[in-house]
Chains A and B, each alone.
Chain A
Amino acid sequence: MTQHRIRFTLNGAAVDLTVPAERLLVDLLRDDLGKTGTKDGCSVGVCGLCTVQVDGAPMSACLLLATQIDGAAIRTVEGLASPLQEAFISEGGFQCGICTSGQLMAADALLRVKPKATDAEIRDWQMGNLCRCTGYYGIERAIFKARDER
């Protein structure tokens, strides 16, 4: 029931607002801030659709209370402008598209800390981002390409 003032950056821009204790980060992003690129899928942290970066680390926005990101730097797909996105297009890294923003935010987080990640490291890292269309080969090719062309 308590209300909490939280301050954080969203894709580099300062945000200062008040949220009820039970507000989830995914709902804050989608419903309060209109950033609907982050999708809500399984709602239990398994599918990866709601992957956002919290201080650079990929996390499930469906498992975070908004109060937990006070002071953090949040990045969502709306803040991403990277060759990774071009590679997803050229390699057909999506079919229906619902997992795409999560796939991108996860892969981007890896390539930022490990620009030369091996194929195995990329597969292991992306393992928790499910594609219901089973378009994994295209997704994999796209991430490999973005890494190779860096």
Chain B
Amino acid sequence: MRPFDYVEPETLEEALEILAADPDDTVVMAGGTSLVILLKQDLIRPARVLGLRRIAELRAISATDEGLVLGALATHGMLARSPAVRAHAAALASTFAAVATVRIREQATLGGNLAHADPAQDPPVTLLALDGAAVARSRFGERRIPLDTLFTDLFETSLEPGELLLRVELPRLPVAARATYQKFLPATRDDYATVSVAAAVATDARGACTHARIALGGAATVPLRAREAERSLMGRRFDDAAIREAAALAAAATDPIDDLRGSASYKRAMVGVWTERALREVA
């Protein structure tokens, strides 16, 4: 590995100062699972690595009156086991539990996952379906970034130089909403998904859909909301025809890349299949 400097500040303020002093040549390390690989493979050559591990406040997970707040340094394992996360949406806890292997889940963090912006990752998909927003801070203040504007391209985010991702905020789900995360893994269980689908749906007493969120992973260079599919469900009875139509609209919303996990056309077809399964799960 190419040499670099390592700095490990004790406070958020110090971290922001260090980052602001040389944002182009400083990379931020949370858990390090992805960053260490990038360093080892010489894909990034930073002058310095800024380690966040001593900033304990970034680790907190808390339920509030408004919803749920997840600290950027919470590990996937902490989030998968958290009673607060499970109480908010069991599908969110099981999403974190479905990432890679136990070793990765114990080391990898929420903030690292989001900032790395790998389009095949699981948590962004469920967090999108749950209307999540990231909160980032620089020396100049805090900014709220809805997750559907955080991811801009393959491994690219809208975080500005000098900004640190601090936490993710999730609003309360509508009463009686049901959520699910479906991950299509044709090869091995620890693999990245070929495609994945998260859905959150609520219906009223007459069975009409009052809330619909569908988010897709592996379906484009960024995690996507399938907005037309969501709109097609609103106000309708959540029946077979509605589910099929929404699944077709979700597939049409994709723009997948060809890779080892499937061709673009295969992934598009699989988004249709797995959206249908996800919607039946929450019907």
Task: Report if A and B associate in a common complex.
Answer: yes
Q: A45-B103, A59-B106, A128-B100 are in contact. Are A65 and B6 (CB under 8 A)?
A: yes
Interface string of B161-196 (1 = CB under 8 A from A): 000000000000000000000000000011000000
- Residues in chain A near residue B40, CB distance under 8 A: 43-44
Quote the shortest CB–CB distance from A107 to chain B (angstroms). 11
Please tell me the size bucket of the interface on A: 20 to 34
B3 and A63 form a contact (CB under 8 A): no
A-B contacts at CB below 8 angstroms, number: 81
CA of A24 to CA of B6, assembled, Å: 13
Complex Cα gap A19–B49 (Å)? 15
Task: Please tell me if the beta carbons of B190 and A128 are within 8 angstroms of each other in the complex.
Answer: yes
Chain B hits for A62, CB < 8 A: 36
Known: A45-B104, A58-B102, A68-B53. Contact between A63 and B32, CB under 8 A? yes
Which chain A residues border B2 with CB–CB below 8 Å? 22
A46 at interface, CB cutoff 8 A: yes
Assembled-state Cα–Cα distance A46/B5 (Å): 27
A58-B103, A60-B104, A128-B101 known; A2+B8 contact, CB < 8 A: no
B266 in contact (CB, < 8 A): no
- Taken together as a complex, chains A and B put the C-alpha atoms of A62 and B36 apart, in Å, by 9
Name the B residues within 8 Å of A60 (CB-CB): 33, 103-104, 107
Interfacial chain A residues near B106, Cβ < 8 Å? 54, 57-59
Is A79's CB within 8 Å of the partner chain B?
Answer: no
CB of B190 within 8 A of CB of A127, answer: yes
| Assembled-state Cα–Cα distance A77/B53 (Å) | 26
Q: Which residue of B lies closest to A69 (CB)?
A: B53
CA A44 – CA B51 in complex, angstroms? 20
> B1 near A2 (CB under 8 angstroms)?
no
Q: B32 touching A21 by the CB < 8 A rule?
A: no
> In the complex, are the beta carbons of A65 and B102 less than 8 A apart?
no
A1-B5, A22-B1, A64-B32 known; A127+B189 contact, CB < 8 A? yes
Q: Does A106 contact B (CB under 8 A)?
A: yes
A63 touches B36 (CB 8 A): yes
Q: Which of B1-29 contact A (CB under 8 A)?
A: 1-8, 29
Q: Is the CB of A21 within 8 A of B104?
A: no
Residues of chain A with a CB closer than 8 A to B29's CB: 65
Most chain B CB neighbours (cut-off 10 Å) among A1, A60, A65: A65
- Please provide the chain A residues from 16 to 75 with a CB less than 8 Å away from any CB of chain B in the complex: 20-22, 24, 43-46, 48, 51, 54, 57-60, 62-65, 67-68
CB–CB B3/A21 < 8 A: yes
Do A22 and B37 touch across chains, with their CB atoms under 8 A apart? no
Report chain B residues within 8 Å CB of A48.
101, 103
Contact yes or no, B33 A127, CB < 8 A: no
Which A-chain residue is minimally distant from B104 (CB atoms)? A45
> 8 Å CB contacts to A: which residues of B29-67?
29, 32-33, 36-37, 39-40, 49, 51, 53
Given contacts A22-B4, A59-B107, A128-B104, 16 further A-B contacts (CB under 8 A): A2-B7, A4-B6, A21-B3, A22-B39, A44-B37, A44-B40, A45-B104, A46-B190, A58-B106, A63-B32, A63-B104, A63-B107, A64-B32, A65-B49, A67-B6, A67-B8
Which A residues have a C-beta under 8 Å from some C-beta of B? 1-2, 4, 20-22, 24, 43-46, 48, 51, 54, 57-60, 62-65, 67-68, 106, 124-125, 127-128
Which B residues form the contact surface with A (CB < 8 A)?
1-8, 29, 32-33, 36-37, 39-40, 49, 51, 53, 77, 100-104, 106-107, 189-190
